[in-house]
Structure 1
């Protein structure tokens, strides 16, 4: 049982040189991390295997169910090498990007993306190094894209290329991604994130690759990273197809006007909440803590607003992977979450949800459990679940009551680590007799001090216990 954490909004931490040792992982877990992210844009499979082994050891030593999110690189487009450490591009000057394999200089540079000359047109914007350098296409000739420098600056090797409003022809799932996916499946990762999603078809493509690689009884949830303008245009279909959404504000903020991102974030969170899909806010949440031990007030406010908006999770990237203060970043994020949640801000009282949003038996039972818990002032909503679906549905209604998932598989608790408000425990030998099972559950909750004698719990489950799709009863039980 994960008894370390009580916050409802979860924390995702990216691992790297600053955070991937066993001792550091134990510290991070005890400070509030629920999910660790492995960024496959960096490192070899040997590097990631070492990190995974450390995660498994830290999981065992803390007695928690820390989850692993594999983040596939996707078709990241970059420039190539220069013949010197960096070049200076001046506003009004010209600069050429070529698909030929050359060593760059002051006039031109190569790109990793062979189709660039076919995809861009005169007048298109090309952004380099997260938008710090801005070009406009003036001519496309053969393998060369000639540009005018609109915003100059210093440019060094391997910086990223962003192409806002360009229909990039490269697939979202690359050969490298498929190779990395094989590694992730082999090592039993809990979530896989797809980068640069543009349409729901991108997610279906990844889903088909997963299905072809795992046995029918397994399920690997897909997190769709929203970081392209095309994804915003197709957001409803993407949310419907994905298992979770990550609002990746880095590339999104480069390709869209900065002032558009805050309200887009709020709208996407609202859509995910209505669809019952978990949503992660990512990128630059406590960015200054890469180099300083405390965040800016604006960063603290950013985390707090994400909690108030109803995000399932907030994510740290460079702060924990390469930053100087990874532990402090997690501790501060955890404190911000706890402080906001202490305010009892009624983000979405269950009784305020219209009944028209109830679309299935699961939804109806989940909503009813929340209503009962609120009216009875219950200590917990206890979901007996085989797949985790029952707990996820209850979480959708954001009840003020604690949500406890009881399952027979640790894998399910790891999957639920990304879901708002859900904590859980494994009971592998739950008896099938309902009266005896309820007694067993009450005793286990008392033993772990999750409830106290005399308190009420709302129990949601089905018979036979731990059978897929069997949820069919709800009852109120007094503990003790």
Structure 2
């Protein structure tokens, strides 16, 4: 599809309003002023922000840039879509992927900022309360699995069943159990303030 075709589609006359929309997910490689302007000129109708990634300041910067664009161009308004994450438990940030091997002991802790070869933090304070010895912990949609061996007041000690590469912010859940996660996330509270 040529950009001339898209340009002709971005400024419809009132009699021929386009009903389909072009939604662009804005991330680190597309969040600059220059790139947002280019996407808008090529037909973007909606700037989507994935709130599961990034931080408050980067999302605020993107929102401000879209608002700046909207203030300059009355004939073309870019909507902002916030894709908010639901309640979830995730592993913390790791500087480089941690290789988990079958039989290895590995721990998850509710202490923030922990990342070693055998322990990583979890973003969910009740994680320790939601698991019991014998539970199967699934990581990254089941790509890796661990069995819970024991727990302390702030750490869950596991043994790796199915290994793999543990990267930052991987989804965690316990097979057959529901977590007692809060339904309102910090992002929603931030965006409503």
Question: TM (normalized to structure 2)?
Answer: 0.70
Q: Which structure 2 segments of 5+ residues have no match? A: 1-9
Tell me, in whole angstroms, the C-alpha distance in 2 between the residues paired with 1:103 and 1:51. Answer: 29
- 2:99 is aligned to 88
Shift of 1:171: 0.5
- 2:45 is aligned to 34
- 1:61 is aligned to 73
Shift of 1:14: 1.6
- 2:56 is aligned to 44
List aligned pairs for 1:177-256, cutoff 5 A: 177-182=188-193
The structure carrying a bigger strand percent of its residues is 2
- 2:158 is aligned to 147
Tell me, in whole angstroms, the C-alpha distance in 1 between the residues paired with 2:28 and 2:113. Answer: 32
Tell me, in whole angstroms, the C-alpha distance in 2 between the residues paired with 1:86 and 1:17. Answer: 20
Is contact 2:88-2:181 (8 Å) kept? no
Structure 1 counterpart SS, 2:67: helix
Going from structure 1 to structure 2, the CA distance change for 1:128 and 1:28 (only over 3 Å counts) comes to same
Is contact 1:23-1:58 (8 Å) kept? no
Tell me, in whole angstroms, the C-alpha distance in 1 between the residues paired with 2:43 and 2:89. Answer: 34
- 2:138 is aligned to 127
Pick one of 72, 75, 79 that aligns with 2:91: 79
The structure carrying a bigger helix percent of its residues is 1
- 2:171 is aligned to 161
Tell me, in whole angstroms, the C-alpha distance in 1 between the residues paired with 2:60 and 2:83. Answer: 14
- 2:128 is aligned to 117
Structure 2 counterpart SS, 1:55: helix
Shift of 1:97: 1.7
Question: TM (normalized to structure 1)?
Answer: 0.32
Is contact 2:49-2:83 (8 Å) kept? yes
Tell me, in whole angstroms, the C-alpha distance in 1 between the residues paired with 2:190 and 2:119. Answer: 32
Tell me, in whole angstroms, the C-alpha distance in 2 between the residues paired with 1:132 and 1:50. Answer: 34
- 2:183 is aligned to 172
Tell me, in whole angstroms, the C-alpha distance in 2 between the residues paired with 1:138 and 1:173. Answer: 31
Q: Deviations over 1:388-438 (max 9, x none)?
A: xxxxxxxxxxxxxxxxxxxxxxxxxxxxxxxxxxxxxxxxxxxxxxxxxxx
Going from structure 1 to structure 2, the CA distance change for 1:54 and 1:151 (only over 3 Å counts) comes to same
Shift of 1:48: 3.6
Is contact 1:127-1:134 (8 Å) kept? yes
Is 1:70 the counterpart of 2:82? The answer is yes
Is contact 1:76-1:160 (8 Å) kept? no
Structure 2 counterpart SS, 1:172: coil
Structure 2 counterpart SS, 1:10: coil
Q: Deviations over 1:190-247 (max 9, x none)?
A: xxxxxxxxxxxxxxxxxxxxxxxxxxxxxxxxxxxxxxxxxxxxxxxxxxxxxxxxxx
Shift of 1:3: 0.9
Structure 1 counterpart SS, 2:184: coil
Q: Which structure 1 segments of 5+ residues have no match? A: 183-480
Is contact 1:26-1:62 (8 Å) kept? no
Shift of 1:39: 3.2
Is contact 1:126-1:161 (8 Å) kept? no
Structure 2 counterpart SS, 1:168: coil
- 1:3 is aligned to 12
Going from structure 1 to structure 2, the CA distance change for 1:3 and 1:27 (only over 3 Å counts) comes to farther
User: Which structure is richer in relative contact order (CA contacts within 8 A, separation 6 or more)?
Assistant: 2
**Residue-pair matches, total:** 179
